[in-house]
Structure 1
């Protein structure tokens, strides 16, 4: 495959992922209402995990093929890209700062869980190289942290011990009125088919990315951290913007933050697929830099969610503008590393 063909293929796959992501949004919002679990939990866990299928397929495929740098950077780069996508969604919501209007305890807890998981991975990268059947024990612990953290979020969602102050800009998570008319088998079929499309497209994104890295002269770390991570994260962008337009603000934020928490598990799955030892210790400064950038962006977003500024530049919060600036500055530095 030539470089130009690979680029067009990546763009085509990105468009396919974005289209499937639109269907996932509509179905996910309906499922949240039908099950009574709420937008925060469905968006953060179910929709966040499903929309991440393309990314996990990319990282696992790259790891299985022995491309550790591409696999790792795709995972952590996707977290950085999706945080920026939330800032973009904030710019599309004209009434007020999105993080102010979508105040939710579940989203705050998901943000804290994300920072805990990313920091844990950073500790593992800097720690000793340990493997058991070529898998680092940290991969199992990472899964355990996610499961226990998600259970805490679900428990807090049902019986909250803390609630945000509601203002006239706050948009509450309320179910639609026409749930009795919903064709449930068709709804879940669309959801599952869209999820399958996203997953299969992610597999081919990994294959195309290797071609781009080899023929463009760019490092696999940079290609993974920017190109494949953005392409495979398009469902989150589409879902968040579509959710904002539908008025499902809690779902928009939960999809990004919950999806980011699930994205950290890419590393555990990739470590299992990588046959040459611990994937955490195959990475270099570039991957550690993007990982640290992800922690910085998540912390900035979480601080903005707690501050709850009502209005800012272009009706976006200061955290959104800061996240965009840190992302652009970070990737300029990454290009020259």
Structure 2
């Protein structure tokens, strides 16, 4: 059925069904990535950043690229930036679930801090792009290849920080150690990779189907594409990050939980780069509205606060969570209130 002929009810049903599929597949993929981290020896932080971060973000990535291809630039960019903000908010939720200590204290990891520094760098590039001349080559702005290059180089540095760290966080009773589990009881490497690939495809297809339903909802309700992107598609495609981070915390894979969120956020910045490639009407960065730029700045601010929390490593804070978690919650809810009102 042509999405243009959908009623609002049909669009909502398709949207809800895709969100449910993303939640179920995203939950399942956590266990697979946790085992792959142990079998491959790359470590929970790297596995969370690269495998879990990319897998749980693929739905949002496909949605942004599809929206850009269809000329819905505002939806594409707001979905990417809104996803980073809500996923950082989810990290504060995971901190509330882990009652033993502040999650950023317990999951101390040099690769996670490297990933967060990479995220801040990529966000700064995105915010700089609209202020640069609107010059494109084959319809692609020069910042786009820079984002891809910076991401790949940042992942290389993060892996190097895991393999040969130049310094290490102070170990405390609450610090979680990234020790591999017993692999003898795990599925074979071939089966794990096959299951990972299948779930990856399912998440991508769900994201592709989600885009037309979100566009119809925006058109039928009169909401701006920024509101739909930030408050609907970003949240629904980020459900795996919430579910997987809580599941990882309960499994005791604390570094994986934090790495999955931060790594997913870094990967999400590439939504914007990929959307610029798909957008054929010029530089997608120069279509960013004031609301979208506000969310870019908000995500940068939240990432900076998270970085300070990772470095400070407060053991207990208000409500037995870190002060940075309290600030992340207030910033996200405040941003959502300003957007809606």
Shorter-chain TM-score tier: over 0.9
SS of equivalent to 2:334 = helix
Alignment of 1:64-83 (within 5 A): 64-83=69-88
Secondary structure at the counterpart of residue 116 of structure 1: helix
Q: Which runs of 5 or more residues in structure 2 are unaligned?
A: 1-5
TM-score where L is the length of structure 1? 0.97
Partner residue of 1:127 out of 123, 132, 136: 132
Tell me how far apart the structure 2 counterparts of residues 292 and 11 of structure 1 sit (CA, whole Å).
29
Deviations 1:47-95 (A, max 9, x none): 1112110010000000000000000000001000100111111111111
Q: What is the CA distance between 1:181 and its match in structure 2?
A: 4.5
Find the partner of 2:100 among 95, 98, 102: 95
Partners in 2 of 1:96 and 1:194 — Cα distance? Answer: 32
Question: Is 1:31 aligned to residue 36 of structure 2?
Answer: yes
Is the 2:35–2:186 Cα contact (8 Å) retained in structure 1? Answer: no
Q: How has the CA–CA distance of structure 1 residues 75 and 181 changed in structure 2, closer, same or farther, with 3 Å as cutoff?
A: closer
Spell out structure 1 runs of 4+ moving beyond 3 A: 178-181
1:258-297 matches, cutoff 5 A:
258-297=263-302
| Aligned partner (choices 163, 172, 175) of residue 167 of structure 1 | 172
Q: CA deviation at 1:180?
A: 5.5
Number of residue pairs matched by the alignment: 336
2:3 paired residue number: none
Q: Which runs of 5+ in 1 are unaligned?
A: none
1:320 correspondence with 2:325:
yes
SS of alignment partner, residue 51 of structure 1: helix
Residue 146 of structure 1 corresponds to 151
- Contact 2:218–2:224 under 8 Å retained in 1: yes
Residue in structure 2 matched with residue 204 of structure 1 by the alignment: 209
- Is the contact between residue 110 and residue 261 of structure 1 (CA under 8 Å) also seen in structure 2? yes
CA RMSD of aligned residues (A): 1.1
What's the offset of the Cα at 1:284?
A: 1.2
Matched residue, 1:225:
230
Comparing 179-188 with 294-303, which one deviates more in the overlay? 179-188
CA distance in 1, matches of 2:46, 2:311: 19
Find the aligned partners of 2:185 and 2:249 in 1 and give their Cα distance: 24
Superposed CA offset, 1:285-318 (max 9, x none):
0110011011011111111111111112332111
Following superposition, the deviation at residue 11 of structure 1 comes to 1.9
User: Who is 1:10 aligned against?
Assistant: 15
Once the two structures are superposed, the pairs formed by residues 46-65 of structure 1 within 5 Å of their partners are 46-65=51-70
Greater shift, 58-67 or 45-54, is seen at: 45-54
